[in-house]
Amino acid sequence: RFTVLALDALVLLPAVCRLARALGAAPSAAPSSPGEPPTPSLGLNTRVACALFQPALILVDHGHFQYNGVSLGLALGACAALLERKDLLASALFCLSLNFKQMSLYYAPVFFCHLLVRCLARPGLVGTVVRLGQVGAVVVATFALLWAPFAIWRAEGVTALGALGQVLTRLFPFGRGLFEDKVANVWYVLSVLKKDLRGLDPGALKVVSLGATLLLLAPVCFDLLTRTKAADQKHEHERLPLALGNSGLAFFLCSFQVHEKSFLLPLLPLVMLFPEDPLIIAWLSSVAAFSMFPLLVRDGLLVPYAVTQLVLVGLVASPYLPPTPDAEKLYEETRGWPFGGAKVPPEMHRIRREAKAKEVVRSQIAGASVLGMLLLHALERLYRGASPFERYPDLWPALFSLFSAAHFAAAYVYFTVWQLGIVPRQQAEGETERLLVERSQLLEEQKRLMDEHKQLRLESETGGGEPFPTSGPTRKKPRGKEE
């Protein structure tokens, strides 16, 4: 167990910190005037804390006892290298992650598409070919270095290709079935409805699972492959973790031979976007650990499960729940105008109302989900093994998995829409900039009117005339060209 802590300190922690630095702080407040940078509300430490205090990762690696932190750390380091435009380093780190745990294959489509777009963006055909050759050479060299020992020190009478084939068979155990135990994905849900699903032809199941996975991957990869303009690089720090998370969700929901611990792969990249959407990321983190509850109970981790959930929600996420929408903060300064209220642009009121309504709905949905998890926990503790439920020993694990599967499917839709929604948000930037300029002009007009108001009142008082009224629609205005 000390080796897990040591590897977390050597691999996972530096990778998380590097990626947090590459992502930067999340802008939550509007610039005071157009052209100024936004005010960062959630610092880099928030990303690091939310990633390292993940209940699912802590319980699996330090309770169930595995080394997922190494492969995840290498993959997150590769993501950070991509954001820093160090493509060759990113290729090498991802190859290391993939060879440490083959589950990192969940990320392969995203890295392939992203690197391909980078290579095609090089100036000229020669530049593209050279860059493709460099990336390919790094990948081949890394794989050759890691796989050479299996080919060199092989069993007597076994060829090099035969030895490598034995390793591949171990890495992809298709003979173990469509899914492992009661995992919260599409195939387990269908197996509840169709009891003989696992007994169908394995070859047909492989084809169907491959097709379903590719179908879910299609919008994610298409979005990455069409980001060829320079303006698209502006939101790359947000799009890349989203794409990694969505790719992981696609594989988890529909691929062949999935284990409940595999949800760590889509979870960690999405967790790095906690400052951008604290409510949904905290909700997903809780559901991820909740989905593993039957496994954790078998390992005697009930108390650590409860403690880590409370630590995440109570210490890490609670200061930012519910999040204040950017639009609400953006237009907060439009309130309190003098002289009976100024003409505030109707777009500002509309955006404020829509942002508030959306946040209320999101909070209600997340709250209902949390209540559902608490209810299932209470029922499981009260009635586990009691009559008549003792006849159905798998009832509670099945309910936990079905409940979690619905949430993971909703998460895939939510985060995919988020990723694809970056395009219309870019198109709306011109409108946002116009509103910012208009707001700045209104603030300047407010300041000018207040200065004139003070000046006119001062002149009225010093001139010995009738005092200048401070408000009211029927006030008498002073005569003269000062008016």
| DSSP class of 323 | P
Would you say residue 116 has pLDDT above 90?
A: yes
Question: For the residues 267-282, what does the mean pLDDT come to?
Answer: 91
Q: Which of 361-370, 389-398, 407-416, 470-479 has the lowest mean pLDDT?
A: 470-479
Mean per-residue pLDDT, 178-206: 81
Average pLDDT of every residue of the chain: 82
CA dihedral 368, 313, 278, 329 (to 10 degrees): 90
Amino acid 455: pLDDT:
82
The residue behind tokens 């496994």 is: 295
**DSSP 8-class letter at 158:** -
How many Cα atoms within 13 Å fall on the side-chain side of residue 252? 30
The pLDDT value given to residue 336? 41
What is the per-residue pLDDT for 273? 92
Strand partners, 29: 39
* pLDDT above 80: residue 263: yes
In this prediction, residue 193 carries a pLDDT of: 84
pLDDT at residue 464, as a whole number: 55
Question: Residue 106: which of 67, 75, 61 has the closest Cα?
Answer: 75
Calpha distance 10→73 (Å, rounded): 9
With CA atoms as reference, report the closest residue to 90 among 105, 104, 80, 101: 80
| pLDDT > 60? residue 299 | yes
Cβ atoms of 411 and 216 closer than 8 Å: no
Distance between CA atoms of residues 147 and 193, nearest Å: 42
Backbone angles phi, psi at 412, to 5 degrees: -60, -45
- Mean pLDDT on 149-167: 89
Alpha-carbon distance of 111 to 221, in angstroms, equals 10
Q: Output the pLDDT for position 25.
A: 55
Contact 173, 103 (CB under 8 A): no
Distance in angstroms (rounded) separating the CA atoms of residues 146 and 167:
12
pLDDT at 482 over 60: no
Containing 41, the helix (H) or strand (E) segment is strand 39-42
pLDDT tens for 392-403 read: 778 889 999 999
Helices (H) and strands (E) in the chain, counts: 21, 2
Secondary structure (3-state) at 297: helix
End-to-end CA distance of the chain: 80
User: What residue type is 443 in one-letter code?
Assistant: L
pTM of the model: 0.79
Lookup result for tokens 């702080």: 25
Q: What does the alpha-carbon distance between residue 178 and residue 189 come to, in Å, rounded to a whole number?
A: 12
